[in-house]
Amino acid sequence: MSVFDHRLNRPFSAGQVQKKVETYEYHDYPHYLRIRCSGMEVLAVAQFSCDVLIVGGGGGALRAAIAAKERCPESDVLLVSKGVLGQSGVTATACSDRMAFHATLPHTPPGKADNWRFHAEDIYRIGGQVSDWDLAEILAKESAAAYDYLDELGVPFVKEGLVPKQFATDGSEYPRACYTGPRTAVEIERHLLKRFRALGIRVLEHVMVAELIREGSKIIGALAIDERVREDSAGEEDGFIVPIAAKTVILATGGAGLIYKNNVFPAGMSGDGYVLAYEAGAELVNLEFIQIGVASLKTKLNLSGSLLRAVPRLVDETGTEFLASYFPPGTNPAVLHDYIFRKGASWPVSFEHDTRLIDLAISRRMREGHRVFLDYSHNPEQFDFGHLPERDRAGYAEEMVADFGAEARQASPLARLQEINPASVSWLKEHGINLMAGDKVEVAACGQHFQGGVKIGPNGESTLPGLYAVGEAAGGQHGANRPGGNALLDSQVFGKIAGEAAARESRGIIRASIPAEVVTSFRHEMERLSRNQGERPDSRLSVRDARKGLQEIVDASVGVVRTEAGLRRGLAELEKLRNKGMTLAGLPYTLGLETRNMFTVAEMVMRAALERNESRGPHLRFSDEDSDVPLPRLDPEWQRYLVLYRKEGEMVVEGRAPIKSGCDRD
């Protein structure tokens, strides 16, 4: 660790420190070194240094840190996380009906030596051929090793004997989804964390990385800020800036769910990594493809799988069942019930699944000013279990954990849910929704996963030397759709690969320190952030109102329904809101930084969505907001991904052909 002179804001030289320092004590908050030098006490800003800096604390970050340390034990690895490890980010907190981890294991069908190829083809084909084939190949080939590692750490995957149980997700050709239950991700985080702690890797919690620092085209570290420092206390407490010199940096900052008003992400997921990379000069890709699906607003639980296969009623706040009004007149009720049932297995909205009609009906009902609920207390109008298609009934039978008989099965959605997934009834009760007492589940189409991100190559490297990205922060490995289970997989596969590659790369680099003037200019920027450069001081919004305004714009323009006019209007409104400026009024600086980042991510998503004038995956483009039929998918013209980067201060969106070599498919 090197140190800065707190008053002069310049580094102490190593000689100075060795000769004069009698004692020093590190204060974790604010980040000071209290040094006794020649009988005097000095407060110094600590400058951390490391070989590999890992930004984030989820599954991708932990796997990268562990791999760097296991591969190069001499490597000095520092992990910096905005929240507390094991309690923040998606991996540590997300739950759904049955959370999936995709892997092609030796026994996975079709069971041939090259069965990884079927997995890679699913990622690429279901993804709409707008991802890189070489990355899909790596994901599929390395999936068994990723599974084995977690299994050895003790992640309690459900097994039959020694063989993990696997099920098929989102159109995958073969069943590959391993699971522990609703908390697969939480279990992965918990077990990785144990290993991480056992390796004694250094960590800073409550610290948000705010800026990457470059020397020429090479990353040399980052500036971070303590999330506990509030705007009104920073004047006295200078230790809120944390400079970190690093030879290589891995971004594992997750997605940007907070740009949506309706989302299932935990707090703090503001897409910081996308903005850090973009501002440093790296490329991003596929930002218009975001998984959106029906989820509970109160509990953030995805209403997928058995929760829909129980065929609940879709009602508004008046109790009116509305689904039929958004289907062609005269649609047979049994057809509607089949759609609800099948939605369970094709949860995120997708152009390629006709069940998108359910998401469209919900979002249209909401746009008309209604609230929407799933009601498990009564059957949908004219429901008859026996009228469900044979394949639905067979799927239901496979899922049954109890047999209450045909009469009970016909009685209500709740009775069916008790038969196929009683745990979800208890889970909802624990989280304040008592289906047994007739509570309804309020739902909306919610943002769940960013398929795109910082454009990576086979080693998880970005287009900027020294910078890597993994997990949801990374892009190019997934296309428009992502078969469920491949996000947790990619955080493990590319986490390991990038961790090892960054540690190896660091060996040949001489560490630079963060120049003092960079810290000074960052300090001034923070001061400006708190009394932001709005057009007129009286027009400034509180940071919370700015966030709310942004989320409304994002939901309206890049939610389920996307139109050219809506996107242009959204971009104009976003710009207007940004120009109003915002005030922190005593709130933490990190809230302001996150909100600033959310503006940039929202703009990226909207610009990419505007450029793609076709439908593909979750990107449903309509000619106008009242149109029922999405614009077609344009193959092969639009088998291109959109790359975003900054050039002379402007956001550039550029279509490029993905890497296809090695793929047999046209």
Ligand X SMILES: Cc1cc2nc3c(=O)[nH]c(=O)nc-3n(C[C@H](O)[C@H](O)[C@H](O)COP(=O)(O)OP(=O)(O)OC[C@H]3O[C@@H](n4cnc5c(N)ncnc54)[C@H](O)[C@@H]3O)c2cc1C
Site for ligand X in 144-203 (CB under 6 A): 185
How far is the C-alpha of 645 from the C-alpha of 494, rounded, in Å? 22
Minimum distance, C-beta of residue 488 to ligand X, in the bound complex (Å)? 4
Which of 47, 81, 248, 530 touches ligand X by CB under 6 A? 81
Sign for the pseudo-dihedral over CA of 300, 305, 306, 312: positive
Q: Which is nearer to ligand X, 117 or 449 (CB)?
A: 449
- Judge contact between 354 and 306, C-beta under 8 A: no
**Which tokens belong to 541?**
């919004």
Q: Which is nearer to ligand X, 46 or 269 (CB)?
A: 269
Comparison of 484 and 588: residue with beta carbon closer to ligand X? 484
Using alpha carbons, select from 130, 145, 140, 125 the residue that is nearest to residue 176.
140
88 vs 248, beta carbon nearer ligand X: 88
Nearer to ligand X, 302 or 346 (CB): 302
Nearer to ligand X by Cβ, of 168 and 324: the residue is 168
Q: Closest distance between ligand X and the C-beta of residue 624, in Å? A: 31
In whole angstroms, the minimum distance from the beta carbon of 271 to ligand X comes to: 8
Residue from 80, 103, 526, 620 touching ligand X (CB under 6 A): that is 80
Cβ of 114: how many Cβ atoms within 10 Å?
11
Residues 284-303 that bind ligand X (CB under 6 A): 302
Q: Are 272 and 416 in contact (CB under 8 A)?
A: no
526 binds ligand X (CB under 6 A): no
Q: Kindly tell me which residue out of 11, 86, 89, 395 binds ligand X, with binding defined by CB under 6 A.
A: 89
Look at the block and give the residue holding tokens 């570290």.
221
Residues forming beta bridges with residue 315, ordered by sequence position: 321, 373
Residue with tokens 């440093």: 280
Tell me which of 94, 123, 146, 388 binds ligand X, using CB under 6 A: 94
Q: Give least dist CB 188 to ligand X, A.
A: 8
Task: Give the number of other Cβ atoms within 10 Å of residue 576's Cβ.
Answer: 12
Footprint of ligand X on 21-60 (CB under 6 A): 55-60
Please name the helix (run of DSSP H) or strand (run of DSSP E) that holds residue 53, with its range, or none: strand 40-55
Q: What is the DSSP string of 262-288?
A: SB---TT-S-HHHHHHHHHT--EE-TT
CB of residue 76 to ligand X, shortest distance in Å: 18
Q: Is 221 in the site for ligand X (CB under 6 A)?
A: no
State the sign of the Cα–Cα–Cα–Cα dihedral 127, 132, 136, 142: negative
> Would you say 363 or 491 has its CB closer to ligand X?
491
Sign of CA dihedral 456, 458, 461, 465: negative
Choose which of 491, 492, 532, 583 interacts with ligand X (CB under 6 A).
491
Q: How far is CA 585 from CA 134, 233, 312, in A?
A: 49, 11, 45
Minimal distance, residue 645 CB to ligand X, in Å: 20
- Does 493 help bind ligand X (rule: CB under 6 A)? no
Report the nearest approach of ligand X to the CB of residue 62 (Å).
8
Q: Residue from 52, 150, 256, 264 that binds ligand X (CB under 6 A)?
A: 264
* Closer CB to ligand X, 560 or 593, in the complex: 593
| Burial class (CB within 10 angstroms; exposed 0-12, middle 13-18, buried 19+) of 586 | exposed
Q: Which residues bind ligand X (CB under 6 A)?
A: 55-61, 80-83, 88-91, 94, 96, 99-100, 185, 208-209, 252-254, 264-265, 268, 272, 302, 448-449, 471-473, 484-488, 491
